[in-house]
Amino acid sequence: MNTPKYVAKAIEPITKGKVFCDLGCNDGSFLKAVKAKKKFGIDKYEENCEIVRKKGIDCYCQDVKDGLPEADVYYNFTHHYEAKKALELLPKGKIMIFGATKEKMKDYPEEIKKIRINIDKWQIAIVCS
């Protein structure tokens, strides 16, 4: 499941003028919709990175647990059990936006659920380190 493109519009005030990284960017359809000064994705599957690159967007094949590349804002659509791990990797002074369906978000760790914004059937949670 990909993040709906309307979520990109909702987070534009946060991403505009920033370096944006989509963690686990899949086919890059959400990443393509994001407005940012610079944007790129990482995905652990090379075939996904190839699809993203064909869309003219930089993509690096790596696993999030190997560390985060340099960016101002990270987007993480992940399972709740991976969300806490991603949060632990967040560099100081950076922003991570978590996105999930409302049903999935209720299972996220409390520190991620503090600031939630409803967007149709989705919720996003914004965390600053």
CATH number at residue 44: 3.40.50.150
Strands 116-119 and 122-128 turn out to be antiparallel
Structural domain harbouring 39: 5-128
Comparing 101 with 28, the larger pLDDT belongs to 28
Provide the phi-psi class of 46: left if phi over 0, else alpha when psi is between -120 and 50, else beta. Answer: alpha
Task: Read off the pLDDT band of 114 (50, 70, 90).
Answer: low
pTM of the model: 0.88
Averaged pLDDT of the chain = 87
- Residue 75 forms beta bridges with which residues? 22, 97
pLDDT tens digits, 41-96 = 999 999 999 999 999 999 999 988 788 899 999 998 766 457 777 788 888 999 99
Residue where the block lists tokens 């996003």: 124
Q: Let me know: does 17 contact 34? Beta carbons within 8 Å.
A: no
Number of domains into which the chain is organized: 1
- The two tokens of residue 31 are 């990443």
Does the pLDDT value for residue 113 go beyond 70? no
Backbone torsions φ then ψ of 60, nearest 5 degrees: -120, 135
Does the pLDDT value for residue 106 go beyond 60? yes
